[in-house]
Structure 1
Amino acid sequence: MPPKSARTPVWKSIATALTRDITEGRYGPGDKLPTEADLSARFGVNRHTVRHALKAMAEGGLVHARRGAGVFVTLTPTDYPIGKRVRFHRNIEQAGRLPGKEVLYFETRNPDAEEAEALDLPTDGRVHVYGGRSLADDTPIAVFRSVFPAHRFPDLTDRLDRLRSVTAALRECGVPDYTRAWTRLTAQRATTTQALHLRLSEGDPILRTVGVNIDPDGAPIEFGTSWFAGDRVTLTLNDTP
């Protein structure tokens, strides 16, 4: 009798089918896959078999699990240079991605001690605060907070709301160029709010950058903090002007 042909393990067939769904664009980078229960129903198997398939895909770097959130298609991290000129749109475009920004809030308030020191504010100084979310290919990669001296740029929030660009708004305010004076990088865990904005789970790794931008005369004009999703961005140090 001819030998029986070896059967493909069911978990491997499931992994192949899901991989085909990803390569053919049904699920893109950053998308969440159906739940184990949904996949069990789709393929007519138990959850252990589905879990085996997802584990194999994760070992191959195709997907990754987020505790309490599910299994997601792996993103190719976006290279994001941190140097003398940090320009979000240019950095994302140079990485071959489509940049986007969403405004979360504007406010004018008293500065805290760190903001007042970073911006060298007078004792009665106020600040404009611009908070938002940065995206690459419609996927959130960071939330940010930019703080500006209100006495120098009294109508900056109106310009930011209209232009949605810090560079363009500052140019209208008479600052033709600005550069980064210093940057600090720190690894953190996502808070509940940060996780919500970045589509992460609370406690997932994020990278925080804190920096000050200065005008051509060396005066501080922006104190910025960004929180990047740790698996979506590769921060690179670049001293090129």
Structure 2
Amino acid sequence: MGRTALWTAIADALRTEIAAGSRAPGDRLPTEAELSERFGVNRHTVRRALAALVSEGLIVTRRGAGAHVAPAPAIDYPLSRRVRFRQNLAASGRVAGRRVLALETRRADPREAELLALPEGAPVHVLEGVSLADGVPLATFRSVLPGVRLPGLIAALEAESSITAALKLCGIADYTRAWTRLEARAASATQALHLQIAEGSPVMRVTSLNLDPEDRPLEYGRTWFAGDRVALTVTPGD
């Protein structure tokens, strides 16, 4: 039986590291010089191993930027009358998570008051955070909800990991989407930091208004999805 070619052994080693998660989507691989030193081979052998991984779709290379682990496939995220983050991710085989950045009650600004049908300056509960898919940042978000109608919401949001579950604790068993607006934007420095992307990278801003079962405005939300991590699909009906 012949010996395994060196470039094949290098490709196998890198493939194993990617599969094990020690090199995550988007991570930069060591340089050709570093890989040559690590495996004790010349750069031509390293290039052949990298070319094999490129052909398999495991890594991508760009002149001047080196080789990176290929990004994970975009998550199909339907926008329908009932948009539920956890259900959407579960349907795509992902585990949803959330990192809270801010949770407070403050006065509504004029736009928030208009959309939520509140007197200007009325109290609103505001939740800001990062939505995660399998631990990877997918989007940053801000949700604004009426304060007087939902006096226990802050405590419910502290106890529950989803807005849907928190609203149920407050007596809101269901809610539906009134409208959704999609706009392409460039990531700000803060958004880039939270999403672990480069500043100026494309993000999709989704602005929406949800209604309670009595068709009263319930939640005014804005979400900024990392452009290469999600495919937003508009679906009619439920």
TM-score higher than 0.5: yes
Pairwise mapping of residues 87-166 of structure 1 onto structure 2 (< 5 A)? 87-166=84-163
Indicate the percent of aligned positions where both proteins have the same amino acid: 47
Residues 14-50 of structure 1: CA distance to partner in whole angstroms, max 9, x if unpaired? 5565335334x25465261433264353245788986
Asked if the contact 2:26–2:70 (Cα under 8 Å) also holds between the matched residues in 1, the reply is: yes
Asked if the contact 2:6–2:45 (Cα under 8 Å) also holds between the matched residues in 1, the reply is: no
Give distance in 2, aligned partners of 1:207 and 1:118.
21
Residues 162-182 of structure 1: CA distance to partner in whole angstroms, max 9, x if unpaired? 112211211222211100000
Q: 2:183 aligns with which of 180, 183, 186?
A: 186
Residue 42, structure 1, aligned to residue 41, structure 2: no
Q: 1:32 aligns with which of 23, 27, 30?
A: 27
Q: In 2 relative to 1, CA 70–161 (structure 1 residues): closer, same or farther, beyond 3 Å? A: farther
Query: What is the aligned-residue RMSD (CA, Å)?
Result: 2.9
> What are structure 1's unaligned runs of at least 5 residues?
1-7
Asked if the contact 1:190–1:206 (Cα under 8 Å) also holds between the matched residues in 2, the reply is: yes
Pairwise mapping of residues 196-235 of structure 1 onto structure 2 (< 5 A)? 196-235=193-232
Asked if the contact 1:69–1:201 (Cα under 8 Å) also holds between the matched residues in 2, the reply is: no
Give distance in 2, aligned partners of 1:112 and 1:51.
56
Give distance in 1, aligned partners of 2:13 and 2:74.
25
Give distance in 2, aligned partners of 1:198 and 1:70.
21
The amino acid of 1:233's aligned partner reads V
TM-score normalized by structure 2?
0.83
> What are structure 2's unaligned runs of at least 5 residues?
none
The amino acid of 1:34's aligned partner reads L
Give distance in 2, aligned partners of 1:194 and 1:47.
38
